[in-house]
Amino acid sequence: TRGQPAQLYLCPFCHVFQVTEEEGKGGERKEKEEVKAPPEFQAPPTVIMFPRQQEISSKGLRRQKRDWVIPPVNVPENSRGPFPQMLVSIRSDQDRNISIRYSITGVGADQPPNEVFSIDPVAGKMFVTKPLDRERRSSYHLRAHAVNMNGERVESPIDLYIYVIDMNDNRPEFKNQVYNGSVDEGSKPGTFVMHLAAFDHDDNTTANGMVRYRILSQTPHSPIPNMFTINSETGDIVTVAAGLDREVMSQYSIIVQATDMEGNLNFGLSNTATAIISVTDINDNPPELTSRTFSGEVPENRINVAVANLTVIDRDQPRSPNWNAVYRIISGDPIGHFTIITDPHTNDGMVTVVKPVDFEQNRAFMLTVVVNNQAPLASGIQSSLQSTSGVTISVVDINEPPFFPTNPKSIRFEEGVPAGTSLTTFSASDPDRFMQQSIRYSKLADPAEWLSINTTNGQIVTTATLDRESIFVKNNIYEATFLAVDNGSPMASGTGTLQIYLIDVNDNAPSLLPRESQICERINRNAGINITAADSDTDPNVGPFVFELPTFPASIRRNWTVSRLNGDYARLSLRIQYLKPGVYEVPVIVSDSGNPPLSNRSIIKVKVCPCDENGDCTLVGAVAAAGLGTGAIIAILICIIILLSEYTDWTSSVRRREKERQTKQLLIDPEDDVRDNILKYDEEGGGEEDQDYDLSQLQQPDSLEHIISKPLGVRRVDERPIIPESQYPIRPAIPHPGDIGDFINEGLRAADNDPTAPPYDSLLVFDYEGSGSTAGSVSSLNSSSTGDQDYDYLNDWGPRFKKLADMYGGGEDD
């Protein structure tokens, strides 16, 4: 050891000597080597000394004496003991002179988990107290302390590292018991399939945690027993041989074993998992039609009907793009009458008509159909010859309805065409050229009943005069609908519309508007009546209009004048300065601009009346203009005055009565008078249970028979006094409103003094009090007069309380 003695320390569990050497001159140098300890040195426990202090040589150089290098302490996990088990002994070279106390600190000593390690404070022996588990904690870092009896530190703390040696106590574990993977059919050898991984909690730097994989079995064995292999270190599964065919075998099940100890089956622990490998489909089978030819038939003029069904075979995975068929018509249908729809469930192709076919044009169709898949064929796969077939579609002739070549048909005629005029021939054609059929015509809709049609040739003849101003003519057009029916089996019919454009002729004279108006009796520059005309005709047979007054009678032109405003309006005004108020019928002649023009003599009723400064008729003037005489006007005014006086008297009477009502109080306070107050009733009373009572107990009986014969229950017998009845005040037929209070007071007073009015002042018999009363006995109640009380107020309660007042009233005199 380079001329210096070395110090040797033994690690009892790692079985390794550690040697150190240090030199100070010319720089420090350290060497370290590990030597396996022979068996004879493995028994004694290691003694760890605290490091010595540094010394200074005579040459001034620092030199450290050779000292222990504190090795880590290795402790195997899962030790069976016995415990506590000694690990090392810690000593200080000062223990020869003074008493030393040793202690350890750190995780596992005085920190959680506590008391895993302990030390003898006097001898310095450190122990492990329980089995260790590397998977929970793989190492511990402790510090050893040395103090004297006073607790003073005599040595610097030293670090102790304790490593838990791994044991193979954990099996490899797969995350799942079943793994799913897939690989395309036809894959080449070496194709990656899937990856499996197992985890071992043991130390993966040792053989305890090194996992290796292998395949135990493959099911099924087709085409060979070993179609797959697994990388023993990575767990990747790849294909070994070719020949994967989904149509032959679609799934494989592989049992994979994971073993630690680098796969040593004698010492390692194992676990298994299952890998399910699905062989995915590729489009390696082209679709094949089941027949070289197909046929079908279609009625003409029908659409959206399936006329032929094409069947196909495809061995790829059903309902996948590799299996779904796509049909195309490559020839025989240039216009596109047909399309082929794929049934998603059966993969059949349904030849469907999308455009109507005509037997007279095509009696049959020869289609060429090709079928493919939605997905293209896999590389190297060729289409089959059976992917193409011929389809023959026969067209069935049916009886088609006649049709009108021009529909709607428009013609022009002047209105006023007389009955019996031939307008046109509205004939239909039969599309069935190969059927010998005849067509008959009839009228379907003729709103004004103006037309008729020849049943054999379709000639249209008028039956009445055509009038453009009829309500059945819209925008100068009259429409009629006709029906054409053939004699086929079954019969077929078609409709056609005839539109007659009616050209206007001047056959309507204009009429004056308005028919009534009014004007002031005196001429005014701005006074006048604007008049116009209405004409049922259209241009050019309407305006501009000509307005003029007739020459007879002469008073018309003497009193009135017409001035032109524009082509459609004129103004009628007075010619003279004053015209007597009244209603005048003024004739006006209106002419249109037709060729020849038509004129009409119209009457406008004009009310001439006196006007105010604003030019409006006054009330008197309006009455006078109505044609009433002076006597009638005076009589109307007198009636108005009488009505006003009556209204004045009535209002004064109402005010007087109101004043009397406020001066003379009624029985109740005005604030409580229901006539002038809004009463709120928010209490609706109880339910049906509160209405279960006998109202007959509150009524006066006419006889006692019904009481005697009544079953046991409540009985009340009232005895009516046999004395003459009192006389009540008679209310006048038309009472004054102010006397209502007096009348009520008098009636109340008479009722209080009438002993014949119920309830009677007599003995009341109650022979049944009922059972189950919630009230207690009242027999203990008595009356007492423990003080002076004035009962004189009973005299004010009326004759019914007179006896009670006599008994208790009167004070000390009684």
User: Average pLDDT in the 492-516 region?
Assistant: 87
What is the distance between the alpha carbons of residues 185 and 281, in angstroms, rounded to a whole number? 6
Residue 432: what pLDDT?
75
Q: Are 321 and 299 in contact (CB under 8 A)?
A: no
Q: Is the pLDDT of residue 54 over 50?
A: yes
Residue 197: what pLDDT?
94
- Burial (0-12, 13-18, 19+ Cβ within 10 Å), 592: buried
User: Average pLDDT in the 114-127 region?
Assistant: 92
Smallest CA-to-CA distance from 66 within 17, 19, 16 is with: 19
User: Average pLDDT in the 384-388 region?
Assistant: 83
Chain mean pLDDT for the chain: 79
Strands, E, within 220-376: which ranges? 228-230, 236-239, 251-259, 270-280, 288-289, 293-299, 306-310, 312-313, 325-331, 338-342, 349-353, 364-373
pLDDT confidence of 13, banded at 50, 70, 90? very low
Residue 55: what pLDDT?
47
pLDDT confidence of 481, banded at 50, 70, 90? very high
Q: Is the pLDDT of residue 685 over 90?
A: no
User: Average pLDDT in the 383-412 region?
Assistant: 87
Locate tokens 């028994």: which residue? 43
Smallest CA-to-CA distance from 378 within 465, 284, 509 is with: 284
User: Average pLDDT in the 113-126 region?
Assistant: 92
Q: What is the pTM of this model?
A: 0.45
For the chain, give the percent of residues with pLDDT over 90.
Answer: 32
Q: pLDDT tens for residues 272-330? A: 999 999 999 888 889 999 999 999 999 888 889 999 999 999 998 899 999 999 999 99
At 301, the amino acid letter reads N
Lowest mean pLDDT among 35-39, 344-348, 680-684, 694-698: 35-39
Lowest mean pLDDT among 342-356, 583-597, 651-665: 651-665
Q: Is the pLDDT of residue 58 over 70?
A: no
Q: Is the pLDDT of residue 241 over 80?
A: yes
Residue 634: what pLDDT?
76
Q: Is the pLDDT of residue 186 over 60?
A: yes
User: Average pLDDT in the 431-450 region?
Assistant: 85
At 480, the amino acid letter reads A
Q: In 10 A of CB 656, how many CB atoms?
A: 11
Residue 261: what pLDDT?
92
Residue 707: what pLDDT?
47
Q: pLDDT tens for residues 251-261? A: 999 999 999 99
Q: What is the DSSP letter of 475?
A: T
Q: Is the pLDDT of residue 592 over 90?
A: no
Compare 727 and 53 and report the one with higher pLDDT: 727
Residue 377: what pLDDT?
87
Backbone angles phi, psi at 218, to 5 degrees: -135, 130
Compare 469 and 775 and report the one with higher pLDDT: 469
Backbone angles phi, psi at 41, to 5 degrees: -100, 5
Residue 25: what pLDDT?
36
pLDDT confidence of 661, banded at 50, 70, 90? low
pLDDT confidence of 32, banded at 50, 70, 90? very low
Smallest CA-to-CA distance from 372 within 247, 288, 282 is with: 288
Residue 694: what pLDDT?
55
Q: H or E segment at 707?
A: helix 705-708
Residue 257: what pLDDT?
96
Residue 311: what pLDDT?
93
Q: pLDDT tens for residues 728-744? A: 666 665 555 556 777 78
Smallest CA-to-CA distance from 449 within 425, 437, 465 is with: 465
What is the distance between the alpha carbons of residues 736 and 577, in angstroms, rounded to a whole number? 62
At 33, the amino acid letter reads E
